[in-house]
A and B are shown apart, each in its own frame.
Chain A
Amino acid sequence: MKIKYLLDEEEIPKKWYNVAADMPTPLDPPLHPGTLKPLSASDMEMIFPKALIQQEMSTQRWIDIPEEVRDIYRLWRPTPLYRAAGLEKALQTPAKIYYKYEGVSPAGSHKPNTAVPQAYYNMKEGIERLATETGAGQWGSALSLATCLFGLQCTVYMVRSSFDSKPYRKSAMRVWGADCFASPSDKTNFGRKILAETPDTPGSLGIAISEAVEDAASHDNTNYALGSVLNHVLIHQSIEGLELKKQFDLADDYPDVMFGCCGGGSNFPGMVFPFIPDKMKDKKDLRMVACEPSACPTLTKGPFAYDFGDTAGMAPVIKMYTLGHDFIPPGIHAGGLRYHGDAPLLCNLVHDGLIEATALQQTEAFEAGTLFARTEGIIPAPEASHAIKPAIDEARRCKQTGEAKTIFISLSGHGHFDLAAYDAYNDGKLVDYEYPADLVKQSLAKLPKV
């Protein structure tokens, strides 16, 4: 059985795909957080380069990938598509299981797919420094790598609890030349204010975003960069799915069902969006399933409504599935899946019924991740394990029904920085959280009325 489906460097796509061109329902516009009026390009210019703002507002189907960006993509792209022969054997399933592994990037995840073009466009427009936030550290490492390759400076505001618990993430950022501060920090007005009020706070992603945005807005040479949610991020990530289509051609196969983990939306949409036109035409049975944690079940339990993108209410107000901008998800180990909302492009497609969503507990995700490591070798990131578990369930169903379905798993990254979480799982110390949806429904009067 052939295990790896590899593309040549020259087959790295030359254009990104923009699903906005094929949406059955167009996006509702993002709103200014102060005026609640539609956001204009000039509103965004304070913190984003013009090229990215254009992409953000574009409905053009194909967008050229600059050669300088493709040159850097060559460091790890195209990423391999694997046939999960070991996992299939262990499950004794007639199903065929494939996974595409983004953990081969220098930062160990899919995040550099957008960090590299973001750093490039900022460099081209004369920006000298990027400011960003990071929760678990994957995005911070990816942007540190990308800025380093284009000769930019980088400042990362890392949520204090992660800063303390994942020391090697910040070590990696330091090696790539970035400054990484625990957030809240004494570097911004907002950080100082929070520190004065609550000196011992563990911080939150919302606070870190506010610090990074303030940093960017108050320095002319500095812009802000975000690793998920925004349209331009999803455009850049489409490179995954475009490669995947070619690789399935090589394997002479086509997926029946695709699973990917989903926090704010970047890896999953990147992998599945290039399949949306197929689904709308001749592949109507193709299922694309976003996998999220039960502790933060945005797509499965949240209402579809306008809400702020950050906790402080400084980021644009966007139409999405949301658990409320004031919700800080519990400290599950899949830190990358802790976001109260989801990418508007993805939310629209879920709302239109083209994409499904499912939610699962972290213990079952770690159990699946462990089985994967023992059969396929790779220790998956806890985030990616959220996609593995439903795929295993699907393969087990196939064993019962005798169907030889083609199942795809998006393996977004490795878990080498998450071994403490695996220890907690093996010691039986993981807590499974649940979102009290009925009680929240009772209390959801807090979303801004538009």
Chain B
Amino acid sequence: MTQRVGKIGFLINPIAGMGGAVGLKGTDGLAGQALARGAKPQAPERAMACLHLLSREADGLLFLAASGEMGGRALSECDLHYQVVYDVPQDSSSQDTKAACHAFLEKGVDLILFCGGDGTARDVAGSVGKLPILGIPAGVKMHSGVFAISPQAAAQLALGFMRGELKARETEIVDVDEELYRAGELQTRLYAVACTPYQPVLVQERKRIYVSGNEEEFKDQIALFASEFMRDGSAYILGAGTTTARIAELLQVEKTLLGVDVVQNGKLIQKDASEKDLLALLDREKSVKIIVSPIGAQGFILGRGSQQISAAVLRNVGEENLIIVSTPHKLAELRQLLVDTGDELMDKILAKKRLVVTGYRIAQRKETVAASALHDI
């Protein structure tokens, strides 16, 4: 009797996530610009983090892949059993993602495991109908529900699904219009419905933007409190999101909704800062603090949406100067806050019960967890 062989279609969007650290809020059509700004490819490394875990229990798994940097190379480095079913030309594009997915579909794969961001998820989902897909998070924007919360969690979900222990559920593929996104307007659009392996906690909820009169009041309260404690002369790095935007609004400074800005003594001193800008700021300023809020229903405070606030920036600022703000509504829906700075040691330092400002002189404590640690749960 031969063991049934499970087939996983595997692909990497090699340029995914490069725009984040250099302040581009997405890499679609901007890979060249991102490289010019000094961005380094991140997707292959994150894909390998997942594949290494998979390789320990890969008996009976066959990977069908796109060639070279779009998948084959990483699989080969991890000693996984694979076949190339799509040859990628010199300069890969989103067309190759779609073409590879068609090839996977023809070969009858059970699951497509891809590494990228929302743009990649759109391309994959648009090509495969109801075939289950699962994302290894590596993009700048990951609002879609098909992403595991970390590469390690993706490995666990993929294995669970292939062994028949986990079922798939329908989830939405959403993306932000990158043109509007760069202009500071958050417009998530529903692009497709996809199936994805599901285990509570390990898959990102589709990012939600909450609108309720009551919650707006709490944003105002948070902003008022922040405007008071921000009078201490420190430079404040304001992360992405609508709660931090409200603080800027009250201070009457222009906020990059999905970027990182720096405010000092009520004045904007750096708009849409990159990681490099922040490190330069830290060189010249004595007291720097960071204000971030959890992103939508995911609960990520670092590592999604505000990659400019990197592990290096955090090390310099000091975790005691990280201020988290959130409306109580948003906090109530989160089991925990998540961090994924890409630096295990920094994630460990950040992971504890952290104070979260939820109103005017009001706070709660919330467990903060390294996303990479969650696959053990």
| B361 and A200 form a contact (CB under 8 A) | no
| A442 and B232 form a contact (CB under 8 A) | yes
Interface check B266, CB cutoff 8 A: no
| B357 and A431 form a contact (CB under 8 A) | no
Q: Mark contacts of A199-218 with chain B using CB atoms, 8 A cut-off: 1 yes-contact digit, 0 otherwise.
A: 01000000000000000000
Contacts of A431 in B (CB 8 A): 328, 332, 364
| B363 and A433 form a contact (CB under 8 A) | yes
Residue among A324, A431, A440, A443 facing the most chain B CB atoms (10 A cut-off)? A443
Pick from A432, A440, A445: contact of B361, CB under 8 Å = A440
Q: Mark contacts of A69-83 with chain B using CB atoms, 8 A cut-off: 1 yes-contact digit, 0 otherwise.
A: 000000000000000
Interface check A353, CB cutoff 8 A: no
| B225 and A439 form a contact (CB under 8 A) | yes
Contacts of A443 in B (CB 8 A): 225, 228-229, 231
Interface check B280, CB cutoff 8 A: no
Pick from B213, B229, B360, B364: contact of A432, CB under 8 Å = B364
| Interface set, chain A 398-450, CB cutoff 8 A to B | 431-436, 439-440, 442-443, 445-446
Interface check A151, CB cutoff 8 A: no
| B365 and A440 form a contact (CB under 8 A) | no
Contacts of A295 in B (CB 8 A): 362
Interface check A167, CB cutoff 8 A: no
Interface check B44, CB cutoff 8 A: no
Q: Mark contacts of B269-287 with chain A using CB atoms, 8 A cut-off: 1 yes-contact digit, 0 otherwise.
A: 0000000000000000000
Q: How many residues of A contact B (CB 8 A)?
A: 21
Shortest C-beta distance, B251 to chain A (Å), equals: 14
Contacts of B360 in A (CB 8 A): 326-328
CA distance A438 to B213 in the complex (A): 29
CA distance A42 to B18 in the complex (A): 73
When C-beta atoms are compared, the residue in chain A nearest to B234 turns out to be: A442
| Interface set, chain A 309-333, CB cutoff 8 A to B | 323-324, 326-330
Given A442-B229, A443-B225, are A435 and B362 neighbors across the interface (CB < 8 Å)?
yes
Interface check B99, CB cutoff 8 A: no
When C-beta atoms are compared, the residue in chain B nearest to A441 turns out to be: B229
Contacts of A434 in B (CB 8 A): 355, 363-365
When C-beta atoms are compared, the residue in chain A nearest to B224 turns out to be: A326
When C-beta atoms are compared, the residue in chain B nearest to A201 turns out to be: B217
Q: Mark contacts of B349-367 with chain A using CB atoms, 8 A cut-off: 1 yes-contact digit, 0 otherwise.
A: 0000001011111111100
| Interface set, chain A 193-249, CB cutoff 8 A to B | 200
Interface check B49, CB cutoff 8 A: no
Given A431-B328, A434-B355, A439-B323, are A330 and B232 neighbors across the interface (CB < 8 Å)?
no
CA distance A200 to B323 in the complex (A): 31
Given A443-B225, A443-B231, are A327 and B361 neighbors across the interface (CB < 8 Å)?
yes
Residue among A323, A434, A439 facing the most chain B CB atoms (10 A cut-off)? A439
Shortest C-beta distance, A212 to chain B (Å), equals: 24
CA distance A295 to B355 in the complex (A): 13
Residue among B231, B328, B332, B359 facing the most chain A CB atoms (10 A cut-off)? B359
Pick from A323, A330, A436, A445: contact of B355, CB under 8 Å = A436
| Interface set, chain B 213-249, CB cutoff 8 A to A | 213, 225, 228-229, 231-232
CA distance A295 to B231 in the complex (A): 24
CA distance A443 to B357 in the complex (A): 14
Contacts of B357 in A (CB 8 A): 436, 439
Contacts of A329 in B (CB 8 A): 362
| A330 and B228 form a contact (CB under 8 A) | no
Contacts of B355 in A (CB 8 A): 434, 436
Shortest C-beta distance, B289 to chain A (Å), equals: 10
Contacts of B359 in A (CB 8 A): 330
Contacts of B228 in A (CB 8 A): 442-443, 445-446
Shortest C-beta distance, A244 to chain B (Å), equals: 35
Shortest C-beta distance, B364 to chain A (Å), equals: 6
| B229 and A439 form a contact (CB under 8 A) | yes
Given A431-B332, A434-B355, A445-B231, are A323 and B362 neighbors across the interface (CB < 8 Å)?
no
- What would be 7 A-B contacts, judged by CB atoms less than 8 Å apart? A330-B362, A431-B364, A439-B363, A440-B361, A442-B231, A443-B225, A445-B228
Q: Which 3 A-B pairs have the closest CB atoms?
A: A443-B228, A436-B363, A442-B229
Task: Beyond A433-B358, A436-B355, list 16 extra A-B contacts (CB 8 Å).
Answer: A200-B213, A323-B361, A327-B360, A329-B362, A330-B358, A330-B359, A330-B362, A431-B328, A431-B364, A433-B364, A434-B355, A434-B363, A436-B362, A439-B323, A442-B228, A446-B228
User: Which A residues have a C-beta under 8 Å from some C-beta of B?
Assistant: 200, 295, 323-324, 326-330, 431-436, 439-440, 442-443, 445-446
